[in-house]
Amino acid sequence: MNDQFDFVEDGGVTSPAGFSACGVCAGLKRNGSADMALIVSDCDCSFAGTFTSNLFPAAPVRYCREICATSGKVRAVTVNSGVANACTGLEGYENAKKTAALTAEVLGFESSKVLVASTGRIGVQLPMNKLEKGIREAAKNLSHTGGSAAAHAIMTTDTRPKELAVSFVVDGKKVTVGGCCKGAGMIAPKMVTAPHATMLCFLTTDADAENAYLAEVLGKAVEASFNKITVDNDMSTNDTVLLMANGKSGMKISAKSAASDLFERAVQMIAEHLARSIVFDGEGVTKFVSVEVSGAVDKQDAELCARAIANSPLCKTAWFGCDPNWGRILAAAGYSGAVFSPENVTLFFDELPVVRGGLDAGTPENELAEILKRREFSVKINLGEGNASCMVWTGDFTYDYVKINADYHT
């Protein structure tokens, strides 16, 4: 499938034509590293956004939802790390609005064309004087190769930036989709309600597309990527995924156009890569585990079972210890709420059988332990009831997870 796509070398949000970005130090982070990013398009963009379904949506989430509902076009997104601007009431909301207004003023376009996003400590107000200086500084540093600097500036407990861009050619026109994201903890999207999303992710493209179509494409991509990952089962107040399309490629794409399939696959490829990168870079994570449930009665059961296993502290610590303690996996399936008969259950670790008919399949423990030593492996459970399936990506639970989150004082 990938032979139709080119992976852009060192690609990110500025790989699509007409996007510039940068990262600067506004002074929000005590350690003095970059904490503000600006992503700007040379011209107006169609756009779509998905957001957390937490009952405490952060101020920038509330602000962006309004922009999504009322504004037809956008030009820029201003992001800060260090202060989440969540649980900050009216003052927090006004600060989000002011951030947009300041950005718009400095860049010279209407306030309604600026989106904002924040990540960091909850319950703290944004220091607006620092932010204002940061915005002015950022506006001077914008560059068509600044995607990587932006990806760095939005990090919190992330250990590395996460970005990617792919391009494809249709009718002699090259279309590029790029993106970056941040996230390592407080990672667990909520599936049941739309709109949904997880953590901060910014997707850009030079395709020419309508808002409604972008919303459809983004919704599907998020469902199959960010909504399938969990680091700690803690859904954030700030989760945001934004997609901006500036049309610079000259290639018009809609649901009915021939190129729609390529475009949607490109967006999904970027979203999936970035979502998986979040788990790989999850707080303290040493293993990437695909929990694949099949044979469930329906989608909901498959999801319940996959999430129970993926979020079980006992399963996650066993994976960290390379202990093929499959009883913990079956116990999690057994309390997940999914309906099935224990005697029909089959379990594999990658290619090795672990459980058949609800009982030990007899594979020697040391062989199973070898699988768990891999950086990446699959836990495949078949409930033997129906045809529904679900895959969730997760990590292990380690000393470092506890350390990062017991010692993290912004």
Report 27-56 residues binding a copy of itself (CB under 8 A): 53-56
Q: Could you give the angle at the alpha carbon of 120 between the alpha carbons of 118 and 121, nearest 5°? A: 125
- Beta strands 162-170; 173-182: pairing state: antiparallel
Three-state DSSP at 68 gives helix
* Calpha distance 177→204 (Å, rounded): 6
For 141-144, the CB contacts below 8 A with 24+ separation are 141/22, 141/24, 141/38, 142/20, 142/21, 142/22, 142/38, 142/40, 143/14, 143/20, 143/21, 143/22, 144/14, 144/19, 144/20
Q: Is 198 a catalytic residue?
A: yes
Nearer to a copy of itself, 72 or 364 (CB): 364
Nearest CA-CA partner of 49 in 182, 217, 255: 217
Residue 272's closest CA among 216, 213, 198? 198
DSSP 344: G
Which residue is catalytic, options 88, 198, 205, 394? 198
Position among 252, 255, 313, 364 found at the interface with a copy of itself (CB under 8 A): 313
Beta bridge partners of 252: 208
Q: Give the pairing type, strands 346-349 and 352-356.
A: antiparallel
- Cis before 195 (ω within 30): yes
User: Residue 123, interface with a copy of itself (CB under 8 A)?
Assistant: yes
**Per CB under 8 A, 386 contacts a copy of itself:** no
Nearest distance, CB of residue 292 and a copy of itself, angstroms = 19
When asked if residue 334 is in the footprint of a copy of itself (CB under 8 A), the reply is: yes
Which residues, 6+ apart, have CB-to-CB distance to 209 below 8 Å?
46, 217, 245, 247, 252, 253, 254, 263
Kindly state whether residue 190 participates in binding a copy of itself, applying the rule CB under 8 A: yes
Check residue 332 for interaction with a copy of itself (CB under 8 A).
yes
Of residues 220 through 249, those in contact with a copy of itself by CB under 8 A are 232-237
Give min distance, CB of 119 to a copy of itself, in A.
12
Applying CB under 8 A, what is the total number of residues that bind a copy of itself? 62
In whole angstroms, how close is the CB of 215 to a copy of itself at the nearest point? Answer: 23
Contact between 292 and a copy of itself by CB under 8 A: the answer reads no
| Binding track, positions 67-86, relative to a copy of itself; x by CB under 8 A | -----------------x-x
Counts for the chain of helices (H) and strands (E), in that order = 11, 16
358 binds a copy of itself (CB under 8 A): yes
Min dist. Cβ of residue 41 to a copy of itself (A): 32
By beta-carbon proximity to a copy of itself, the closer residue of 46 and 85 is 85
Dihedrals φ, ψ of 196, to 5°? -140, 165
Stretch that binds a copy of itself, among 16-24, 116-124, 138-146, 147-155 (CB under 8 A): 116-124
CB of 297 to a copy of itself, least distance (A): 13
Residues 343, 362, 366, 375: which binds a copy of itself (CB under 8 A)? 343
**Residue 41 φ/ψ, nearest 5 degrees:** -100, 145
Closer Cβ to a copy of itself, 74 or 383, answer by number: 383
CB of 313 to a copy of itself, least distance (A): 4
Of 144, 299, 376, 399, the residue at the interface with a copy of itself (CB under 8 A) is 399
User: Residue 293's CB: how many other CB atoms inside 10 A?
Assistant: 28
186 contributes a contact to a copy of itself by CB under 8 A: yes
Question: Residue 222 — φ and ψ, nearest 5°?
Answer: -65, -40
- Residue of the chain from 318, 379, 388, 392 that contacts a copy of itself (CB under 8 A): 318
The sheet carrying 288-296 orders its strands as: 229-230, 388-395, 288-296, 376-382, 346-349, 352-356, 359-360
256 touches a copy of itself by CB under 8 A:
no
Which residues are identified as catalytic?
198
Residues near a copy of itself, by CB under 8 A = 53-56, 84, 86-89, 121-123, 185-186, 188, 190, 232-237, 311-314, 317-318, 320-321, 323, 325-328, 330-335, 338-340, 342-343, 355, 357-360, 397-399, 401-403, 405-409
